[in-house]
Amino acid sequence: MKAFKLLALISTAFLIACTAEEPLDTGITEATTPAATHSDIIQGSVTSANGPEAGVWVIAETHDLGTRFAKIVVTDDAGNYLLPELPEANYDIWVRGYGLVDSDKVTAAPGVALDLEAVIAPDDATAAEYYPAGYWYSLLEIPDASEFPGSGPTGNGISPLIEHQADFIRLVSNGGCVVCHQIGNKATREIPALFNGYDTSAAAWSRRIQSGQAGGFMTRTWTGMGIEAVSEMYGSWSDRIADGALPPVPERPQGMERNVVITQWDWADPTAYLHDVVSTDRRNPTINGYGKLYGALEESADYLPVLDPVNHTIEQIPLDMMDPEAGPVSGPNMAESPNWGDEAIWDSAANVHNPMIDQDGRVWITARVRGRENPDFCREGSDHHSAQLYPTQANGRQLGMFDPETGEYHHIDTCFGTHHLMFAEDEDNTLWTSGGGQVIGWLNTREYLETGDYQAAQGWTPFVLDTNGNGVRDEFVGPSDNPDPTKDTQILPGFGFYAVNPAPDGSIWGSILGYPGGVARMIPGDNPAETALVEYYEPPLDDNGDPIEGFSPRGADVDRDGVMWAAMASGHLASFDRRKCEGPLNGPEATGQHCPEGWTFYTEPLPQFQNLDRPGSSEGSYFTWVDQFNTLGLGENTPINTGNQSGGLLALHEGEFVRMRVPYPLGFYTKWMDGRIDDPDAGWKGRGVWATFSGRAPFHMETGKGTTSIVYHFQVRPDPLAD
């Protein structure tokens, strides 16, 4: 590997793995004061020149196991720590915290008492290098509300299609840039040397977004916003940081946040990025206790990464295509990349996006099995019931199933597109999917497993509002047709459902992307292909079409009471409680703005963009997942946001956020999580929430090029010293 200079933040193990042109001082010393203690823990105290250091992290990392393993805990009020459940190995151990720089690493094995010396940061700028990305991103200056609607290239450079400042914020948050990777980490707030030859930082940013196989997507996003204005905005941001601008100072972990234990394992490979991870059956999180975890590599590679968290080993399950002629979904690089040059590192044809485990441990995935054109059974003239009612022509992703018991992978061709998937709580174990565009589709997995006939086991239906208000689905007008008060109305919610969330009462909830976006509830009825009806609810707007508070949901989830929770581009976690609605839920008065009283907004714990006075923050999480069954230990129905800019998970507990931040390696970014109860009788040790690094650029983490995706296990113990 080519030698390159690394910051002191970078892990010692990574330094050793690199071939350096000159010897490297790793800063590691041997533990000199071991003392007898429990055989699988390391404990001690952390002090600095200022005395005991409360609310700082102690990190233990080893490469002695089947894959890189790390454990992270937080010190208590007196600066004490306890690292629990450490496998037998030699660990590098050090202290990291806000207001500090990393301490020297000490090598130790479990079973010792080890006091550590923290190091005070020499100045504010050095201390800020450890702050979460969102604090740096809050320095971005959003165009003033008076600049909207945009006036285009001959005016202010903002696209005329963006009518509201809030819609612009959506596109710099979880509706655009942050949808694929974290922004504000060191890799993004600074401009790489490859672009040093440009006259301005704005020009450098305009070229930067063309890099790699995602260059086309990034360029289209910025062009849709107004590429000149956006390049100037990010160029100014980078310039101010280069000139010494510093973000607000984050608060150290407090209260329950000091009880968090984070365990990490590397998996996959350095050129692959992950989207999701699954550990259990969402409906019964005791399924697959202590079992293997499975990931989804989306556009990057054609295998399922697998982690065995008990034996600390990883493996790969190869995926093939029903149609081997269907090539990769990612094309060549648009332009040279700072990290990978002209190498095209993604080559997936299956394009797996989201996995789920069923009641018997089978792994179901949204996966491409062929090209876009649908087979005849989906089209007009087919005798398939759904096709007779609403034929479909094409889609970009279907389904697959891996059976760990047999080791076989099965292709499931669908007439509807798929993105996310989730099982309903019914006797058919119906698998509902999002991403179908004009339709929502499902698979009766009981029927499919009994017969192997995926054509007969699937169905789909368009999105139809009960606009005549009679409570049943009637003949409907199309989305572009003139309204007819005697008929219902089909809507086209762009992507269709983004999140898809079967509720305990049999309804199917989903989030709707865009501005202002919304959430929707589908009541399938006895024959969903012809009986399903949809209710649609938008966040409240004022008379000018501007948001009163939060806007633009992305990932969302429903709790056991039928309350929908959503991650908002505005920097909120929102809940929508249909039970609070005061007016009619269907009929001509149900315009989307008909239940503002159903919405509640909780500001995510990051600063707002520095020049905004509107509600919200610079966070904009990607997804909300609801811990329906208390897998984490904070209680049933706990909503948790992915905290992509916070570098951690954000759990709403008793109206306040518990920030479960990942301090190392900096850059944690996930798109999903999955809670599992390995042993209901083992207390906190038998519970936890799993996540994976999900950004498209794992090399943006502080450990740089060569970094693979990581699996994280979040646990909450009763106190910071619980063993």
Tokens read off for 450:
């009994």
- Pairing assessment for the beta strands 508-512 and 518-523 based on DSSP bridges: antiparallel
State percent of the chain over pLDDT 70: 95
Q: How do residues 379-409 score in pLDDT, each as one tens digit?
A: 999 999 999 999 999 999 999 999 999 999 9
Counting Cα atoms < 13 Å in the Cβ hemisphere of 659 gives 22
Phi, psi (deg, nearest 5) at residue 211: -70, 140
Query: What pLDDT is stored for residue 622 in this prediction?
Result: 97
Q: What distance in Å separates the CA atoms of residue 516 and residue 609, rounded to the nearest whole number?
A: 19
Query: What pLDDT is stored for residue 169 in this prediction?
Result: 97
Query: What pLDDT is stored for residue 28 in this prediction?
Result: 36
Q: How do residues 688-706 score in pLDDT, each as one tens digit?
A: 999 999 999 999 999 999 9
**Residues ≥6 apart with Cβ < 8 Å to 398:** 366, 367, 368, 369, 370, 411, 412, 413, 414, 417, 418
Q: How do residues 465-507 score in pLDDT, each as one tens digit?
A: 999 999 999 999 999 899 999 999 999 887 899 999 999 999 9
pTM of the model: 0.94
Instruction: Tell me the pLDDT band of 14, cut-offs 50, 70 and 90.
Output: very low
Quick one: average pLDDT of 581-593?
95
The side-by-side arrangement of strands in the sheet containing 57-62 is: 28-30, 105-108, 91-96, 57-62, 69-74, 260-266, 710-716, 687-692, 673-677
Query: What pLDDT is stored for residue 495 in this prediction?
Result: 82
- Pairing assessment for the beta strands 105-108 and 91-96 based on DSSP bridges: antiparallel
Query: What pLDDT is stored for residue 16 in this prediction?
Result: 30
pLDDT of residue 30 exceeding 80: no
Query: What pLDDT is stored for residue 20 in this prediction?
Result: 33
Q: E-strand spans in 224-274?
A: 260-266
Quick one: average pLDDT of 496-522?
97
pLDDT of residue 57 exceeding 90: yes
Query: What pLDDT is stored for residue 492 in this prediction?
Result: 87
pLDDT of residue 17 exceeding 70: no
Query: What pLDDT is stored for residue 264 in this prediction?
Result: 98
Quick one: average pLDDT of 228-248?
97
Query: What pLDDT is stored for residue 493 in this prediction?
Result: 82
Q: How do residues 63-89 score in pLDDT, each as one tens digit?
A: 999 999 999 999 999 999 999 999 999
Q: How do residues 261-319 score in pLDDT, each as one tens digit?
A: 999 999 999 999 999 999 999 999 999 999 999 999 999 999 999 999 999 999 999 99
CB atoms within 10 A of CB 10: 20
Q: What distance in Å separates the CA atoms of residue 173 and residue 610, rounded to the nearest whole number?
A: 15
pLDDT of residue 4 exceeding 50: no
State percent of the chain over pLDDT 90: 94
Query: What pLDDT is stored for residue 8 in this prediction?
Result: 33
pLDDT of residue 158 exceeding 60: yes
What domains can be seen in the chain, in order of their start residue?
A: 12-128 (2.60.40.1120)
Q: How do residues 322-335 score in pLDDT, each as one tens digit?
A: 999 999 999 999 99
Q: What distance in Å separates the CA atoms of residue 622 and residue 567, rounded to the nearest whole number?
A: 6
Q: Which residue has the tokens 């979880």?
A: 174
Using an 8 Å Cβ cutoff, are 573 and 602 in contact? yes
Quick one: average pLDDT of 664-676?
98
CB atoms within 10 A of CB 16: 12
pLDDT of residue 21 exceeding 80: no
Query: What pLDDT is stored for residue 38 in this prediction?
Result: 79
Mean pLDDT estimate for the chain? 94
pLDDT of residue 10 exceeding 60: no
**Residues ≥6 apart with Cβ < 8 Å to 473:** 464, 466, 488, 525, 530, 531, 532, 533
Instruction: Tell me the pLDDT band of 511, cut-offs 50, 70 and 90.
Output: very high
Instruction: Tell me the pLDDT band of 5, cut-offs 50, 70 and 90.
Output: very low
- Pairing assessment for the beta strands 69-74 and 57-62 based on DSSP bridges: antiparallel
Find the radius of gyration of the CA atoms of the chain: 25
Q: What distance in Å separates the CA atoms of residue 33 and residue 54, rounded to the nearest whole number?
A: 22
**Residues ≥6 apart with Cβ < 8 Å to 698:** 270, 273, 707, 708, 709
